[in-house]
Chains A and B, each alone.
Chain A
Amino acid sequence: MSALVFAALYMIGDPVLMLASPEAGDAERELIRQSFGLDLPLWRQYLIFLNKVFVHLDFGKSFLTGEPAIGLILDRMPATLELATAAMLFAVLIGVPLGIYAGLKPESFGARSVMTGSVLGFSLPNFWVGLMLIMVFAVFLHWMPAGGRGPVQAFGPIQLSIFSWAGWRSLILPVATIAVAKCALIVRVTRAATRECLPQDYIKFARARGLSEARVLGVHLLKNILIPIVTVAGLEYGQVFAFAVVTESVFSWPGMGKLLIDSIITLDRPVVVAYLILTVVFLSLLNLVVDVIYTILDPRVQSKARA
Chain B
Amino acid sequence: MTAAENILESGGQPAMRESMLRLFAEQFLASKLAVLGMILLALCLCLAIFAPWIAPQNPFDIGTLNIMDSKLPPGSVSGDGAMMHWLGTDGQARDVFSAILYGLRISLIVGLVSVSAAFAIGATAGLISAYFGGRTEALLMRIVDIQLSFPAILVALVLLSVLGKGVDKVIYALVAVQWAYFARAARGAAIVERNKEYVQAARCMSLSWQRILWRHIFPNCIPPLMVIATIDLAHAIALEATLSFLGVGVPVTEPSLGMLISNGFEYMMSGTYWIAFFPGIALALVVVAINLVGDHLRDILNPRNEI
Q: Are B154 and A279 in contact (CB under 8 A)?
A: yes
In the complex, B140 has a CB within 8 A of chain A: no
Which B239-289 residues have C-beta < 8 A from chain A?
A: 239, 241-242, 245-248, 261, 265, 268-269, 271, 273, 276-277, 280, 283-284, 287-288
Q: Is B153 touching A246 in the complex (CB atoms < 8 A)? A: yes
Whether B146 sits at the interface, judged by CB under 8 Å, is yes
> Is B303 at the interface (CB under 8 A from chain A)?
no
A128, B292: Cβ atoms closer than 8 Å:
no
Interface residue ranges of A117-149 to B (CB < 8 Å): 119-120, 123-128, 131-132, 134-135, 139-140, 146
Q: A123-B238, A125-B238 are in contact. Are A264 and B280 (CB under 8 A)?
A: no
Scoring A residues 172 to 204 as 1 if CB is less than 8 Å from chain B, else 0, what string do you get? 000000000000010011001000000000000
Q: Determine if B153 and A5 form an interchain contact, defined as CB atoms under 8 angstroms apart.
A: no
**A 1-23 to B, binary, CB cutoff 8 A, 1 in contact else 0:** 10001001101100000000000
- B246 in contact with A8 (CB, 8 Å): no
Contact of A243 among B151, B245, B246, B247 (CB under 8 A): B151
Question: Chain A interface: which of B61-69, B76-84, B157-165, B185-193?
Answer: B157-165
Q: Residue B137 at the A interface, CB < 8 A? A: no
Q: Is there an interface contact between B269 and A139, defined as CB atoms closer than 8 Å?
A: yes
The answer for the CA separation of A164 and B241 in the assembled complex, in Å, is: 35
Q: When the two chains form their complex, are residues A264 and B158 in contact, meaning their CB atoms are under 8 A apart?
A: yes
Residues of B close to A132: CB separation below 8 A: 280
Contact B162 A261 (CB under 8 A): no
Is the CB–CB distance between B153 and A242 below 8 Å? yes
Q: Which of A128, A188, A239 has the most CB of B within 10 A?
A: A128
- Contact partners of A128 in chain B: CB under 8 A: 238, 241, 261, 280, 283-284
Return chain A residues, CB-CB under 8 Å to B109. Answer: none
Residue ranges of B at the interface with A (Cβ–Cβ < 8 Å): 33, 146, 149-151, 153-154, 157-159, 161-162, 234, 238-239, 241-242, 245-248, 261, 265, 268-269, 271, 273, 276-277, 280, 283-284, 287-288, 290-292, 295, 305-307
